[in-house]
Amino acid sequence: MHIWRFGVAANSLSGDLKHMSHLQKTLMPFVLVCLLVHLCGVSDALLRSSCAMTDCDLFLIGFSFGSLVCTVFSPWHGSWVTLIVWCVSLFPSGLWNSLPPEYFMACAMALGIIGYFQLNQGLALAAVVSGMSWFLPLIGHEEKDIDAGSCSQRFFLILVMCLVPALIGGLMQQTQRQMELRDMVRRQEEKLEIAHTLHDYVTNDVVDAILLLGQVQDADSVKLDEAKGCLRKASLRSHALIEQLEDVHHANDEDSGITDVSRGQVDGDEVLRALCEIARTHQSRLELLGFDGAVLLPELISGDDCMERETILLGLVRELFADVAKHADARYGYVLTVEASLNEYLIRLRDVAAAADASIESGGTGLSRYEAQLKRQGGYLRTQCEDVESGLHWWSLEARVPRNVGNRARVHW
């Protein structure tokens, strides 16, 4: 059988060739060999036939060969033509002789192809072709010449020979769809990982560079403004690329029906070391920007964590430092805490927003992405913005990252 896959049943030769995948191209030599075997079998049977061939026979044989060749380039149309030629040749007529039985193998191949495109249609055609292949040759024979037992066995055999290829074609289609679905999910995960890397590393570092340049006192303000302008453009383009990559993921996330799986375990000590490294790096950057804040981390994180949860935890902490640099008022500082318990991580942040802004209250695109991830994992992310009489806009965040750790885990502060 042939593993062909098109987005829809092709309606033209160019459409078939356009949608041919790499798998289809690699199977093309195999398909040509199969058709060549069919043609040789039919030709040999015709040469051995003692019946004299008429002009109609030659026309029918040429049409049958053409249908097989057409199947290579347009499987859907070629399969239909192959079946039609076979059924027409079965009708009793004095104008032509029936095609040799070897041609029936080509019909089985055609039923498999049609079953691959549309299983229901392939099964229906299998029933029709098997019925005609059994009934039409009996026309013209007297009832006494027909053996009921052998006749029923012959019908059952023909039916099986027609149904099995159609079922195999449908099974191949389902298998290939599952493979394509897995490939699609894998590509979406790769795009999403690229978007996360761009957001968590590239764009946040660019924003930090812009803020640091703003602190530099330089007489050549024109060049300084030009440098900051280039960095702003790079940041905007990176965000546009992130949104484009994440849109593909969010559009198919709920419809994919495939849940996230753990990609391994990571030791709690490694998680703590990574947290300390992130805190040390970003806290020093915030100090250069004039922020005086406090970061509280656990002294010990026991047990092993899912690598996926660890990635969310570290990425969220990194994102919070970036949001402090972009949106907080350096005059009032900030407080960031990370708590580790048996079942969860709790992350809290409190600062004063530099200005009242709806995007600040919601947390922006970065925190919105982490909010969606935590919701799928059974956690949460909540933000709150409070206005006081003094005109300050207090902004706070609380996030819960679930853990899957045994009772051996123990936390010390």
Same domain, residue pair 171 and 269:
no
If we measure between CA atoms, which residue out of 109, 56, 116, 53 comes closest to residue 81?
Answer: 109
207 belongs to a structural domain: no
pLDDT at 198 over 60: yes
Same domain, residue pair 36 and 170:
yes
Which of 182, 215, 238 terminates a domain? The answer is 182
The number of distinct structural domains making up the chain is 2
pLDDT at 381 over 80: yes
Question: What's the chain's average pLDDT?
Answer: 72
- In the prediction, which pLDDT does 412 show? 37
Which of 152, 182, 212 terminates a domain? The answer is 182
98 belongs to a structural domain: yes
290 belongs to a structural domain: yes
CA distance 232 to 215: 16
Which of 131, 165, 182 terminates a domain? The answer is 182
- For the stretch 323-343, pLDDT in tens is 888 888 888 889 999 998 878
- For the stretch 227-285, pLDDT in tens is 666 677 667 767 777 676 666 444 444 443 333 434 568 888 888 899 998 899 888 88
213 belongs to a structural domain: no
pTM: 0.49
379 belongs to a structural domain: yes
Same domain, residue pair 278 and 398:
yes
Same domain, residue pair 175 and 276:
no
219 belongs to a structural domain: no
- For the stretch 50-69, pLDDT in tens is 555 666 666 667 777 777 77
What domain range is 299 assigned to?
Answer: 262-413
